[in-house]
Structure 1
Amino acid sequence: MFNKGSKLYGIITGVCPKCHEESMYTNKNPYAVTQLFNMHDNCSNCKTKYKIEPSFFYGSMYVSYGVGIAFAVAAFVISYLLFNSSLNVSIVAIVASQILFYPIIVRVSRNIWINLFMSYDKSLAKR
């Protein structure tokens, strides 16, 4: 399920969706906020072009909405149902989770978006 070659592997690790050999991002750390959106143009292993067309990753904004909602629901469930917090504290937990996990949400959304359009090709992987 989380093995090299699966969509989930590509989404979680942020590697090239075609060969799964290198990170698509110039800095793997999403919390290096000034470099959050910086990506390589092509994969150095298989030469896959990441930006299929101009403004390709604008579509990931739609995905980030859903991912953000998932984080918000998780924050609510943890704070309100698990810790029996008040509704006000739960709202603060939701806002805090959105701020704290913003870089993760952005990266995961981009990874999901590109993996919707490209699939792993075993023949391109390093041997």
Structure 2
Amino acid sequence: MLKKGSKLYSILTGTCPKCQNESMYFDKNPLHLNKILKMHENCSHCGLKYQIEPSFFYGAMYVSYGLNVSIGIAAFITSFVIFDSSLKVAFISIIASLVILFPFVLRWSRNIYINMFVSYNPKLNKK
């Protein structure tokens, strides 16, 4: 169960990691590919600047690599080991999984990366 205040909540919902009250993205739907990386500059609730330094999200490429490797391994094990498919089908399932999950991995990697540096502050939500 996702509870506000956890890093997992911020990562999966794409909300501000500091206050978790606003989406970091102009469009919450990652399937709108032309707007997938368009982010607000600051959180309107707590004022957190999302691009902490110039080229900050280049580091998210390393997170993306790890996520893609994990997805590839999971797809291979599911296809080859569990469903006992051929090696060719297993590799096709890897490619299909990576293509289908591409927009989500792109967002998740940014969300994970910023959550590595910014922690939730519950004091920002008290009135």
- TM (norm. structure 1) is 0.96
Amino acid at match of 1:82: I
Amino acid at match of 2:71: F
Amino acid at match of 2:50: Y
1:90 aligned partner: 90
2:68 aligned partner: 68
Amino acid at match of 2:15: V
CA displacement at 1:84 relative to structure 2: 1.1
CA RMSD of aligned residues (A): 1.2
Rounded Cα–Cα distance in structure 1 between residues aligned with 2:80 and 2:11: 29
Rounded Cα–Cα distance in structure 2 between residues aligned with 1:123 and 1:47: 14
Moved over 2 A (4+): none
Q: Mean alpha-carbon deviation: is it higher for 75-84 or for 15-24?
A: 75-84
CA displacement at 1:126 relative to structure 2: 5.9
- TM (norm. structure 2) is 0.96
2:111 match: secondary structure: helix
- Please say if 1:110 is aligned against 2:116: no
2:109 match: secondary structure: helix
1:120 aligned partner: 120
Deviations 1:6-49 (A, max 9, x none): 11111111100000001101111111001111001011111111
1:31 aligned partner: 31
Rounded Cα–Cα distance in structure 2 between residues aligned with 1:89 and 1:119: 42
Give identity over the alignment, percent.
54
Rounded Cα–Cα distance in structure 2 between residues aligned with 1:30 and 1:21: 18
Stretches of structure 1 that go unaligned for 5 or more consecutive residues are none
Q: How many residues align?
A: 127
Distance 1:93 1:126, change over 3 A: farther
Rounded Cα–Cα distance in structure 1 between residues aligned with 2:93 and 2:83: 11
